[in-house]
Amino acid sequence: MMKALREAAAKLLQEKRAVLVIGYADRKGRPAVFVSKPEDCGRLVYDSSCRQNLAAYLGKPELRARLPVAVVAPPAVLRSLVVLTAESQIPAGQVLALAVDHDAFLGVFDAAGAAELLRSKFPDLGPEKALLERVAELSKKSAAERAAFWAEEFAKCTRCYACRAACPGCYCSRCIVEKNAPQWVSTAALGHGNYTWNVMRAFHQSGRCTLCGACEAACPQGLPLMVLNAVLDREALAEFDARPGYDPEGKPVIGSWSAEDDHSYMR
């Protein structure tokens, strides 16, 4: 599998279909590696310890100056590439996916091909069972207990914004948390700013999150960020049939509407 991945990457570079391959490095922690020479493709690996979502680099201006690129992409990252395409964040034909899954190399795909692959081979990617159990467990608690739980969790946040940096969906050049005239979100690592930041970060991913888990993996304080993402994913699916990352021409959930949307909670 590793051999097939490396050969395919080297071929893309040789044929100039990509000037850069973003992959996982054969080092502890599986950090990102940027390969631009075919002979360096031996540095690429993929296994279950690869937690980063490499599509996050596609929003960087430095990288946008070096297109076309290829990205090593397990299924969740493939979804991110499709979401970014749907949101017009990827110039057409400039990003290729080196699709991988567990111990298989699946081939080279553009966004449309990646969506096709996802629909045929991974039609039901959603929150993992363990994650849904975490949501269910928290939902069973009273409102006061839930508030106390999050107050305690968010108190650990140091506002390093690693969650934001790790997320391909967080590509705004100017984030709400950096707006300071007026300042909407306090940047002090205290209760109120931490709550607002973490809730708004999750909310801005509603209907767009591909549940790759990169934010939670990147959090140095171990905040259960995926619980927030999972509840939004569940509701967006239930209410609006949102399946982000399966249609490169799909409309975003927030930003489109239907007259038939439920509003039974409205008085």
Partner 1 sequence: MKTETSAVPAATAFEPRITAFVCNWCTYAGADLAGTSRLQYAPNMRIIKLPCTGRIDPLFVLKAFEDGADAVLVSGCHPGDCHYTSGNYHARRRWTLFRKLLALTGIGDDRLFFSWVSAAEGQKFADLVNDVTAKVRQAGPFRAANPGRRA
Binding to partner 1 in span 38-97, by CB under 8 A: none
How many Cα atoms sit within 13 Å of 206 on the Cβ side?
20
Binding mask 122-161 for partner 1 (x = CB under 8 A): -------------x--xx---xxxxxxxxx--x-------
Question: Tokens 């391959």 label which residue?
Answer: 21
- CA-based radius of gyration for the chain: 19
Sign of CA dihedral 28, 29, 33, 37: positive
Nearer CB in complex with partner 1: 109/195: 195
Contact status: 253 vs partner 1 (CB under 8 A):
yes
Residue from 47, 137, 178, 239 binding partner 1 (CB under 8 A): 239
Binding to partner 1 in span 177-216, by CB under 8 A: 184-185, 190-192, 194-196, 199-200, 202-203, 206-207
**Terminal alpha carbon distance of the chain:** 57
User: What span, in angstroms and rounded, lies between the C-alpha atoms of 18 and 68?
Assistant: 5
Query: Which one, of 216, 247, 52, 226, lies nearest residue 126 by Cα?
Result: 226
Nearer CB in complex with partner 1: 13/135: 135
Tell me the two tokens of residue 80: 């991110």
Nearer CB in complex with partner 1: 9/232: 232
What's at 91, amino acid-wise?
P
Residue from 25, 63, 67, 176 binding partner 1 (CB under 8 A): 176
Instruction: Supply φ then ψ for residue 260, to 5 degrees.
Output: -90, 0
Minimum distance, C-beta of residue 65 to partner 1, in the bound complex (Å): 33
User: What span, in angstroms and rounded, lies between the C-alpha atoms of 53 and 249?
Assistant: 22
Contact status: 241 vs partner 1 (CB under 8 A):
no
Residues that bind partner 1 (CB under 8 A): 135, 138-139, 143-151, 154, 176, 184-185, 190-192, 194-196, 199-200, 202-203, 206-207, 227-228, 231-232, 235-236, 239-240, 253-259, 261-263, 265-267
